[in-house]
Amino acid sequence: MSMREQWGTRAGFILAAVGSAIGLGNIWRFPATAFENGGGAFFIPYLFALLTAGIPLLIMEFTIGHKYRGSAPLSYARMNPKSEWIGWWMVLVAFVISTYYAVIIGWAISYSIFSFNLQWGQDTETFLFQDFLQAADPGQVGGLVPGILIPLIIVWAVTLGVIYRGVKKGIEFANRIFIPTLCIIFIIIVIRAVTLPGAAQGLQAFFEPDFTAIMNGDVWVAAYGQIFFSLSIAFAIMITYSSYLPKTSDITNNAFITGFSNSSFELLAGIGIFGALGFMATQSGVPVEDVAADGIGLAFVVIPQIINQFPVLSGLFGFLFFASLTLAGLSSLISITETYVKGLSEKLNLSRGKAVLFGGGPAALISLLYATRGGINFLDAADYFINQFGVALLGLVEVITIAWFMRRLGVLQDHANGISDIRVGGLWKLCLGLITPIVLGYMMFDLFRQNLL
Ligand code: PFF
Ligand code: NA
């Protein structure tokens, strides 16, 4: 057995964990989620979710990976062979996510190039669905769309190339470049956004608290959902990344740094997006809520419209926005893909290169499905299913198994406290053993009620 690969430095690990956390969830999911769920008042359930579930679970996953020194399936198998399937379930969810996450990054690459001559024109919605995705006519399904295909190949070449080079020379190296670059670009964009005319109006709409929201169960569900997705929890990622830490590393502190960096970036994104939306609302003389959007609609329809109206250097700012989406997305995609590449390589005793071929290869091939005419429908369906059922259910199974069936919290607590300055105790166990399962259980119940009843 050769030595387990390791991060070169602690900063390298933190950059990689933060790189996994910061992604599309921060840029296009958080701002609209906060806005629709109480605005300024959303920060109360959001902070509560961060402190009672987000950071406690990060500490738990970091500790599992560090103590059992394996990707999710191997770590679970070492805790108890009967629980190995949980790791594989996580790996499977990660695999599915990676197939469509890659496609969206490909779009972002295309749009960063379209920015230079504002190629999307005035009707950005028609441009996206008809010209670019060629998905308008439902009869016209099938056939690869070259405009989507080529950037997608680039995305997979970069991702699999980085993973092939390994933990230190590949993943750590890439994140050392991507994450600082991303932060600089993003700060430039946010400064530009909040200095646009009308930005104040957008910010006011964003921060205006609706305190009645706090009494609404859906708002709490939204807060927990945001925290889980945003911190890449229950996707096997954080377990895999922490398994490459050296024998001593302050795990608890790492978890706090990762959690707060991700939330800071999220807040910054909210400010930038709503500053820009305020500008757009002022230009078109409508209230901010009429232009607010999320997801694909925000990034590929509304943002191009806003860019069109920029007073100066519109092409450059368009490029910077889509470049930041690309970098944020790539660092997350690398983390998702590494979890199943490593899982496979450990299970079948494969070299890194072979595992990249047999794990990453199929993912890349499946993602071609979304690069076909009408492929966006598959993408929507996969994303919906994963986010609604994969995440909450998997998180619930994870905490219940560890806290109740296997009763491992005490062992994990001792392990984390043995190497960390910040000590975790009864409160941490209460969050994981009781508060988080109750909230996730309620989330599942709520989902089934809404979807099946
Ligand atoms: N945490 C990422 C984000 O906020 O966009 C999303 C993500 C990363 C989801 C990795 C899933 C994943 F496996
Ligand atoms: Na995130």
Is residue 99 within 6 Å of ligand 1 at its C-beta?
no
Q: Hey, what are 93's tokens?
A: 């969810």
Q: How far, in Å, is the centroid of ligand 1 from the Cα of 380? A: 16
Characterize 70-80 residue by residue with b for buried, 16 or more Cβ atoms within 10 angstroms of its Cβ, and e for exposed: bbbbbbbbbbe
Q: Which atom of ligand 1 is nearest to the CA of 94?
A: 13
3-state secondary structure of 102: helix
Question: What angle is formed at CA 60 by the lines to CA 55 and CA 63, rounded to 5 degrees?
Answer: 125
Of 445, 414, 443, the closest CA to residue 428 belongs to 414
Is residue 18 within 6 Å of ligand 1 at its C-beta?
no
- Closest ligand to residue 229's CA: 1
Is residue 395 within 6 Å of ligand 1 at its C-beta?
no
SS (H, E, C) 181-219: HHHHHHHHHHHHHHCCCCHHHHHHHHHCECHHHHHCHHH
Helices (H), 115-166: 124-126, 146-164
Q: Which atom of ligand 1 is nearest to the CA of 339?
A: 13
Is residue 26 within 6 Å of ligand 1 at its C-beta?
yes
Is residue 163 within 6 Å of ligand 1 at its C-beta?
no
Q: What does the alpha-carbon distance between residue 179 and residue 12 come to, in Å, rounded to a whole number?
A: 11
Q: What does the alpha-carbon distance between residue 48 and residue 442 come to, in Å, rounded to a whole number?
A: 16
- DSSP percent split of the chain into helix, strand, coil, nearest 5: 80, 0, 20
Q: How far, in Å, is the centroid of ligand 2 from the Cα of 261? A: 10
Is residue 278 within 6 Å of ligand 1 at its C-beta?
no
Is residue 95 within 6 Å of ligand 1 at its C-beta?
no
Is residue 332 within 6 Å of ligand 1 at its C-beta?
yes
Is residue 107 within 6 Å of ligand 1 at its C-beta?
no
Q: What does the alpha-carbon distance between residue 168 and residue 165 come to, in Å, rounded to a whole number?
A: 8
3-state secondary structure of 173: helix
ipTM of the complex: 0.96
pTM of this prediction? 0.95
- Inter-residue contact 152 to 375 (CB < 8 Å): no
Characterize 302-312 residue by residue with b for buried, 16 or more Cβ atoms within 10 angstroms of its Cβ, and e for exposed: bbbbbbbebee
Q: What does the alpha-carbon distance between residue 33 and residue 52 come to, in Å, rounded to a whole number?
A: 19
- The protein residue with its alpha carbon nearest to ligand 1, atom 13, reads 336
Is residue 230 within 6 Å of ligand 1 at its C-beta?
yes
Each of the 453 residues of the chain gets a pLDDT tens digit; together they read 468 999 999 999 999 999 999 999 999 999 999 999 999 999 999 999 999 999 999 999 999 999 999 999 999 999 999 999 999 999 999 999 999 999 999 999 999 999 999 999 999 999 998 889 887 565 666 688 888 999 999 999 999 999 999 999 999 999 999 999 999 999 999 999 999 999 999 999 999 999 999 999 889 989 998 999 899 898 889 999 999 999 999 999 999 999 999 999 999 999 999 999 999 999 999 999 988 888 888 999 999 999 999 989 999 999 999 999 999 999 999 999 999 999 999 999 999 999 999 999 999 999 998 888 877 777 777 777 777 667 778 899 999 999 999 999 999 999 999 999 999 999 999 999 999 999 999 888 887 887 776
Give the model confidence (pLDDT) of 2-33 as tens digits.
Answer: 689 999 999 999 999 999 999 999 999 999 99
- Inter-residue contact 156 to 367 (CB < 8 Å): yes
Give the model confidence (pLDDT) of 130-186 as tens digits.
Answer: 889 887 565 666 688 888 999 999 999 999 999 999 999 999 999 999 999 999 999
Residue with structure tokens 């502190």?
253
Q: Sketch out the chain's domains with CATH numbers.
A: 10-404+430-452 (1.10.4160.10)
Give the model confidence (pLDDT) of 87-111 as tens digits.
Answer: 999 999 999 999 999 999 999 999 9
Mutate to test the pocket of ligand 1, among 50, 93, 178, 235 (most ligand atoms within 8 A of CB): 235
Give the model confidence (pLDDT) of 50-63 as tens digits.
Answer: 999 999 999 999 99
Q: What does the alpha-carbon distance between residue 330 and residue 335 come to, in Å, rounded to a whole number?
A: 9
So what's the pLDDT on residue 139?
Answer: 60
Mutate to test the pocket of ligand 1, among 93, 229, 340 (most ligand atoms within 8 A of CB): 229
Helices (H), 309-369: 314-348, 352-355, 361-367
Give residues with Cβ within 8 angstroms of 235, minimum separation 6. Answer: 90, 93, 94, 97, 336, 339, 391, 394
Q: Which atom of ligand 1 is nearest to the CA of 328?
A: 5
φ/ψ of 397, rounded to 5, equals: -60, -40
Q: How far, in Å, is the centroid of ligand 1 from the Cα of 237? A: 9
Longest pairwise C-alpha distance within the chain: 67
Give the H/E segment covering residue 99. Answer: helix 84-114
CB atoms within 10 A of CB 234: 29
